[in-house]
Amino acid sequence: MMRIVVVLVLILFSLAGTLVLAQRQAPKIPEGITVHRDVAYVTDGHERQKLDLYVPDEGENLPLIIWVHGGAWLGGSKERYAPMEYLKSGYAGASINYRLSQHAIFPAQIEDVKAGVRWLRANAETYRIDPNRFAAWGSSAGGHLVAMLGTAGDITEFEVGENLEVSSRVQAVVDYFGPTDFIQMDAYRLPDGLVHDAPDSPESKLVGGPIQEHKDRVASANPITYVSKDDPPILIIHGDQDKLVPYQQSVLLKDALEKVGVAVTLYNVVGEGHGGFKDPKVPELTKAFLEKHLKP
């Protein structure tokens, strides 16, 4: 019972960390932005298969920043678009909901996010978006899913549903403290951190059973499985005192990407945990990365 309580507390902390990030970055929608709410990216689909789209009233061929929320694949919502401040700097934005693990186990989540990206690309002209300048940004479970978008861009088995004539690839990825190799999470967890091998851990719920007993399923859910030389550039931000997603998870992904020659930067937020970063280098690095890879 005590372990279950600890897990629940840590999950709530994860959700709170994501909320803090969103609140710091998205106090309100800037003037001059048209918001399209609850756009279905799957016809007659699940209630979670919807996205919000933020389009500046001026500008053409706008680069797009896609936000994928965190919440341990158990919660979270598209309603808080964390990169809100970027809408004032010539970017369009999208925020994608996806089925949670209580609705469907993996690969439903990456299938949904990919379907959302394809919908955005198929409808890019309508909303004055440049289909060749998409970045995906997410934190925690969202970081995991955007890392999957980056490394599994060429994996056709995750392409399900509509708009299959267009690609779900993105041109840049910003991964804030996302899991990358579930099997190795407990090997590096902090002494009072979340136990990921537990049968009721978020990762176990995601794949439909204890992760150490379902290694094939886990491998299919690990971004590190799909790393290849044609992956887009990736910026990884992670606190070295993270009790929910061990910092080493990002080191593993960084090393794998470097090995095949993908442009990757890992920034260690020293002394900080699971989001809510106070280090001013975090927004500086993120802004510079997006400008480099999305602005002409």
* Percent of the chain predicted with pLDDT > 70: 91
Beta strands at 129-139 and 92-96: parallel, antiparallel or unpaired: unpaired
Number of structural domains the chain divides into:
1
| pLDDT of 21 strictly over 50 | no
The CATH number that applies at residue 283 is: 3.40.50.1820
Confidence at residue 28, expressed as pLDDT on a 0 to 100 scale: 86
Question: CB neighbours of 208 closer than 8 A, spacing ≥ 6?
Answer: 105, 106, 214, 217
Confidence at residue 24, expressed as pLDDT on a 0 to 100 scale: 45
* Cα–Cα distance, 140 to 106 (Å, whole number): 16
| 174 φ/ψ sector (left φ>0, alpha ψ -120 to 50, else beta) | beta
* Cα–Cα distance, 159 to 147 (Å, whole number): 16
- Any idea which residue has 């992760």 for tokens? 211
| pLDDT of 53 strictly over 50 | yes
**Contact, 224 vs 260, CB < 8 A?**
no
Range of the domain at 128: 2-294
- Any idea which residue has 């970017």 for tokens? 91
Confidence at residue 193, expressed as pLDDT on a 0 to 100 scale: 95
Band (27; pLDDT cuts 50, 70, 90): low
**Which tokens hold the place of 225?**
């499985």
Report angle CA 282, 253, 190 to the nearest 5 degrees. 75
- Report helix, strand or coil for 172: strand
The structure's pTM equals 0.91
Band (257; pLDDT cuts 50, 70, 90): very high
- Report helix, strand or coil for 30: coil
**Contact, 125 vs 164, CB < 8 A?**
no
